[in-house]
Each structure stands twice: as C-alpha cells, then as structure tokens.
Amino acid sequence: MFAFQMADIMPALPEIFLAGIALVLVLVAAYGGETPRSARRVTRIAMGGILITLALVVNGDPLASRAFGGMFSADSFAIYMKVLVLLGTFAALGMSLRSDGDSDINKPEYSLLVLLALVGMMLMISADNLMALYMGVELQSLPLYVVAAMRTNSLRSSEAGLKYFLLGALSSGMLLYGASLVYGVAGTTDFAGIAEAISGRDMPTVFIIGMVFMISGLAFKVSAAPFHMWTPDVYEGSPTLVTALFAIAPKVAAISLLLRLSYGAFGSIADQWQQVLIALSVGSMVIGALGAIMQTDIKRMMAYSSIAHMGYALAGLAAGTVAGVTGVMIYMTGYVFMGAGTFAIILLMRRDGAEATRITDLQGLSRTHPLLALGLLVMMFSMAGIPPLAGFFGKWYVFLAAVEAGLVPLAVIGVVMSVIGAFYYLRIIRLMYFEDTDSPLDSKIPMANRVVLGASLAVILLFFAGIAGLLAAADSAAVALIVLG
Amino acid sequence: MIEALFFYLFAAVMLGAGLMVVVSRNPVFSVLFLILAFFNAAGLFVLIGAEFIAMLLVVVYVGAVAVLFLFVVMMLDINFAEMRAGFQKYLPIGLVVGGILVFELVAAMYGDAFSGATLPAASEISNTRALGNVLYTKYMYLFQVAGLILLVAMIGAISLTMRRRSGVRRQVIAEQNMRRREDSVEIVDVPVGASARTVATVPPGKRER
C-alpha cells in the first residue's frame, strides 16, 4: 500500500503554491469583472505569486528532491531552469501591465492562463515519468493555445491560435504514441526505470521508433526544424505580448524536458538519439538562418531567430556530455534575457497607438530614440554572438561541447550559420543607425518595459563577469541531471 | 454457456448497429445506432470482467459524447445527402485502412515486440476498487494536474467564446423580480369618447433601460 509522507510533497511546494494562487485568481477574476482595472489587479497578484514562488524554488533542497513516488524531481537542474522560466514569465506579465495596451490582453483571464501555463512549464521541467511529462506538456500548451487566440476580433490571432492548437495536438499525439511504445518495451513509465530496463540490453526497433516519436513530439514544442512550420505564423498572428511570452519561457521548459528525457531515460543509448538531435539541430540552424533573411515583419524574423537559437541549443544537447548540458543551460540563460530585452523594445513599436511591426519601421530609431536603439543594438549583437555579450558565451560553450564530443562538422555548420544569421541582426542595426525616417515611432515608454530592458541589458552586458558562477551552477546542475538523475 | 450466448448477442447487435451507423440515411438515426453500439460494447466489457471500462463507456461516451453528437447533428445545417455522395468512391480507401488496422491488430496479438513488458498481476479485488486505490494515492499528482488541465480547458473555452454582444435580449431574473407595479402599469383616465391615439403614451414596460 502506498502511503503519503509530507516529504513526498515538500519538493513540489513551489508548484503547489503557484497552482493555489492560480485557483484563487480564478475567483478574483470572476468576481472582479471584465474591466482593465480588474485585469491589472489579477496580473499584479500573479506577479507577486511568481516572486514568492521564485523564493520557494531557490530555497528548495536539491538533495531531497523526489516527490510523488519519483514522478517529480526538483533537483538542482530543475531549480536552475525554473528560475529562468519564472523570471521570463515575470517579465512577460510585467510588460502586459501598462494601462493603454491591447484591450483583449486586458482581460483578467490572460494573466490567469499564463500563470497556469507557468505551472505547466515547471511541471515539465520537473517531470521524471512519462505520465508526468505528458501532463506537464498539456498543462503548459493548453493555456498558450488560448492566449494565442486571445485577440478575438482579429482573424490572424484566431488563425494563430487554431494553427498552434492543431499542430500542438498533433505533436501531443506523436509524443503519446512514442511514450506508449517506450512503455510497452520498458514496462515502466519511470525515467529511472526506463534507463534501468534498457541498459545493457539489445533494444528492439520498436523502442527506437518510440524514442524518435517522443523526441519529434518535443521538437514540435521547441520548434526545431522540420517541426517548425507553426512558429512564424503563430509568432506573427498572436498579440505581441503573447509572442513575447512564447519567445521567452516555454522553450526553456521544452528544452529542459528534452534534456531530462534524453539524458535521464535514454542515457544509455545516447548514440541512438544523437543522430536524431544532430539532424534536428542542423535543420533548425539552417532554416533559422536562411528563413529570417527574407522576412519583413520583425515578429516573423524573431520566430526564425528562435528556430535558429533552438538549433544551437540542440547542438549542445546532441553532444551527450556533461559539458553539453552545461552549454545548453548557459545558452538558455542568455536566450531568456535576449528574448525579454528584444521584446521589451518590439512591444514599443507603435505608431499613433497602432502596432508597427515591420522591420523598416525601425528606420532612424537612433535619431528618434537613441537609448532604445542602443539597447536593441546590444540585443542584436548578443543574438549574433558577438563577444563579450551573453549570446557569445552560449554559442561558445555549446560548440565547445560539440567539438569535444567529436561532432566537429556540427560545430562548423553552427559557426557558418551564425555568421549567416548575423546578417539579419546587423540589418536591423543598419536600419536604425544609417537610415532616416520622417514618421517616428511613439515615444511613450512604459515603466515595465524600461525595467525589463534595463535588467536584460545589465545581464547581457555583465554576463562575462558572472560567467564563472553561472558555469559552476550549471555544471553542478548538469551533474545532478546526468549522474544522479 | 449463458456467457457465450450473451457474448454473441452483444457482439451481433454491436456489429449490426455499427453497420447501421454508416449506412442509415438519417444522421440522427446514425447517432442513435452509435449509442446502441456503445451500450453493447459496454456489455462486452462487463462480460470480460472490466466493469469500470463498461461504466466509463456508458457515462462518457453515451452520456456526453453521443449527446454532443446529437446536438451537433441537429443544430448544424449540414447537407448530409451531399456529404455521403462520394460513399462508393471512398469505399476502397476505407477498405484499405480497415485492412491495415486488422493486420496491425493481428500482428500485435501474435508478434513478440512487447514480450519484454511486465504485465501487472491480476489481483483479487475488483478493478474499480483497484483503480480507486491508486488513483488518489500513487497517482494523486497526475490526478490533480489533470484537474488543473480541465480547469484550463474550461477557462479557455469561456474566455474565447464569451463576449458581451449588443442587441441580445437576455433574461435577467433579478431584474424581473425587482420590477414593481408602478414601473410597468400606468393608469390612464380615458375620457369618454376620446380616441385611443390622443391618450397613447409610451407604455412604461417598453421604455429603454
């Protein structure tokens, strides 16, 4: 008979707390009415809840990390990734606070759904069981489908939501099908149990097929090529605040899940999934770099940019070593802050109150808004991977791990693609600094965007100073994932 | 003996109902036959001792899904005669897909790909009680998360579809109960011989709110 101890629940305390806040917010939102004021109140409470959750996560004990009979694992890897996800979502919610924003996003349900999605992301990061994995993925995806379609009077937003939903459902189906095959062979849904069941045994083809299906399903979630088709349309069609959220948080959770699945459950057959991940990585790097060149809308461009980023992160994942995991973690750290900072600026791209998201709308930004232009310059340099910014360190450690693991061609392709990718980042800088405009963007800069932009800039500029500490934290987390996991 | 009799009864009725779902002209009949098929499948499940799945089938599929189908069939204005015009054209594809399914079922039954799996031992207690025993203890975590997911589905469906539309007459019971006599009835002293038009005022009940 299975009996519950308090120790079985304590590691999941942050998630339980956050879910509790979400349940309270359901009532607050229901009784507060549909006014912008009520929406702001919900958002504020949600942000406060995230901050407390952050404190709970940081104070968690990474040694006593197993909960719910091994389905849930809050090890130091999970703590690291959860901090990233929490910070990213906090920034995205904060930027929705301004009063004159989108009336559709000013619904109280927005923050509520984002909060529930955040719980889902945290469960994904901690999932240590095939069933827990699926539950986390669904809890994360469903609210995001809804917020993508939140602008109900816009055809594009509805289309984005529907597309996201259909492809997400397809990917869930692939994930489940793969999981059923894996379970069928291993006889257990526990990651550690799967690892035990497959070690030192000749794997039937069915198991490999199941594994590939699972990785493909998760590749949808991280929008790795060739499963990236939804990304540009969803990024472009969704309200920009939602796009900012998509660009910052969910992919961190999906990458964490991919890491835990491939290193935790399938650790002993690394040579089998390595090929899949290398293919995904190369595809994403190429599609991301070449696809972005032709884009005219900055949200679409950011979609391709994020595909490319996922390609680089997957290169570290494919290395299959501790250094690879560390590289991915450093990469995702930079990715969150680059995404937050860049979208803090993209959200300001308005002309006479209407969104102006064409890349050419940035023309002459250095004359009309010199500080914003400088901020975007730093972000673009960082995304292009120019030292000593955050993006450079991410790429450096990822490619280093790939080379050390003997994947030199992969690293070479990555470097070539990041050079090609630098073209479109630099094009934005050229537009801002060497073109002129006669219709400047609106000059109102809400406080939240200033804070997010300032904080992201500080992290990206000072990344080199903190890299030693970050590396140590990521390294111990990676060891916890691989060796102890 | 009795068991075999019931098996063939349930199976035969289910197959017949399944066939009728496809061939009957009226889509409402199709849904009703589908419900019949569900009931007989539930009977089959009871025969093999899976009473929980039988209950689920009745509660979820008959009680919710089939009723939803009925609603959709009756409320949407779809020309079903037009939809089934290509029936013969698509028959070969249907046969191929069905054939593949049969082949896969046979392969899964006689193949050995899953021989390494450990089947849980059959226990003495009924499977409903066995499920209850683990659902709220061992799988409490998953159960709770499933609850959150359903909550998300509910909130999402409401927030995407509910909007305040103008020009919709909706019933507000509180307002109806609050209505007083003075608000809606006006006593007009009509002089003898005066035409109705001269005294007609706007009736209070039709005043704009």
Q: Which pLDDT band, with edges at 50, 70 and 90, does B49 fall under?
A: confident
Test A146 with B114 for CB contact under 8 angstroms: no
SS3 content of chain A, % helix, strand, coil (to 5): 75, 5, 20
Average pLDDT over residues B32-53: 90
Test A146 with B145 for CB contact under 8 angstroms: no
Q: Which pLDDT band, with edges at 50, 70 and 90, does B200 fall under?
A: low
* B148 vs A3, A107, A139: nearest CB: A139
**Residue in chain B lying closest to A137 (CA):** B149
**Distance between B60 CA and the closest CA of chain A, angstroms:** 21
Average pLDDT over residues A33-44: 85
Asked if residue A114 lies in contact with residue A18, where contact means CB atoms within 8 angstroms, the answer is no
Mean pLDDT of chain A: 89
Strand partners, A354: A351
Inform me whether the pLDDT recorded for A147 exceeds 80. Answer: yes
The number of distinct structural domains making up chain A is 1
Q: Which pLDDT band, with edges at 50, 70 and 90, does A103 fall under?
A: low
Test B117 with A185 for CB contact under 8 angstroms: yes
**Residue in chain A lying closest to B135 (CA):** A2
What pLDDT score was predicted for residue B209? 45
**Distance between A1 CA and the closest CA of chain B, angstroms:** 9
In a domain, A468, yes or no: yes
* A206 vs B113, B137, B142: nearest CB: B113
Give the C-alpha separation, A225 to B132, whole Å: 43
Average pLDDT over residues A290-319: 92
The string of pLDDT tens digits covering residues A215-241 is 999 999 999 988 998 999 999 999 888
In a domain, A114, yes or no: yes
Mean pLDDT of chain B: 82
In a domain, A1, yes or no: no
**Residue in chain A lying closest to B142 (CA):** A132
What pLDDT score was predicted for residue A83? 95
- CA A105 from chain centre, in angstroms, equals 21
Average pLDDT over residues A20-28: 94
In a domain, A60, yes or no: yes
* A149 vs B118, B148, B160: nearest CB: B160
DSSP letter for B59, please: I
In a domain, A337, yes or no: yes
Q: A187 to chain B: which residues are within 8 Å by CB?
A: 116-118
- CA A326 from chain centre, in angstroms, equals 16
Angle between helices A130-148 and B140-161 in degrees, nearest 10: 10
In a domain, A461, yes or no: yes
Give the C-alpha separation, A186 to A265, whole Å: 10
* A146 vs B118, B142, B156: nearest CB: B156
Range of the domain at A217: 6-484
What pLDDT score was predicted for residue B206? 52
Q: A68 to chain B: which residues are within 8 Å by CB?
A: 140-141
**Distance between A165 CA and the closest CA of chain B, angstroms:** 12
The string of pLDDT tens digits covering residues A396-453 is 999 999 999 999 999 999 999 999 999 999 999 999 999 888 788 887 888 888 999 9
Average pLDDT over residues B149-172: 84
Test B155 with A68 for CB contact under 8 angstroms: no
In a domain, A314, yes or no: yes
Test A2 with B113 for CB contact under 8 angstroms: no
**Residue in chain A lying closest to B139 (CA):** A68
**Distance between B110 CA and the closest CA of chain A, angstroms:** 15
Give the C-alpha separation, A239 to A234, whole Å: 9
Q: Which pLDDT band, with edges at 50, 70 and 90, does A116 fall under?
A: very high
**Confidence (pTM):** 0.86
Inform me whether the pLDDT recorded for B118 exceeds 80. Answer: no
In a domain, A141, yes or no: yes
Q: Does B131 touch chain A (CB under 8 A)?
A: no
Strand partners, A73: A66
